[in-house]
Amino acid sequence: MKFKPAHELGWKELKPGYIIDDPGNSIHYKTGSWRSRLPVWDYSRCIKCGICYIFCPDNAVIQRSDRYFEVDLDFCKGCGICARECYTQCITMKEERV
């Protein structure tokens, strides 16, 4: 079934009670625009422990092929949990401007 974003759905298209019978469709709901601060890694201090990956509430921390971590800009809401939990404090939250 082709996913339709919320702002395109008409009332007649909704399932009874706004049931969602398309599991995992939150992948289509991009939350990156909520962000005002962006986590930035200092890889000279990163030990690749993955605590940022584990704590990210939105699976927005992803691991690169060189085993370092970075952020998925489509989903990171800028909550700062990764920076707070980082053992070496190598993540800083930088203000983002449009």
Partner 1 sequence: MGKVVGMEISIAAAEAVKQCNVDVISAYPITPQTHIVEKLSEFVANGELDAEFIPVESEHSALSVCVGSSACGARTFTCTSSQGLILMSEIVYITSAMRLPVFMILANRSLSAPLSIWVDHSDVMSIRDCGWIQVFAANGQEVYDHVFHAFKVSENESVLLPYILNIDGFILTHVVEPIELIDQEIVDKYLPPFNPPYRLDPDRPLTMGAYGVPEVYMESKMAQDMALKNAFPYIINAWKEFGDLTGRYYNPVETYRSEDADILLVTMGSMGETAEVAVDELREDNIAAGIVKIRLWRPFPYEDFINKVSRAQILVVVDRSLSYGGPGGPVASEIRGALYHLDKRPYVMNFIAGLGGRDITINDFKEMIDHAIKNAHKSRQEDYILFGTRE
Q: Which positions touch partner 1 (CB under 8 A)?
A: 5-7, 9-12, 14-21, 23
Report the nearest approach of partner 1 to the CB of residue 60 (Å): 18
For the beta carbon of residue 86, count every other beta carbon within 10 angstroms: 22
Compute CA distances 28 → 18, 41, 58, 75, whole Å: 17, 26, 13, 10
Q: Which residues pair with 39 in a beta bridge?
A: 93
Report the nearest approach of partner 1 to the CB of residue 5 (Å): 8
Report the nearest approach of partner 1 to the CB of residue 24 (Å): 9
Between 12 and 67, name the residue whose CB sits nearer to partner 1: 12
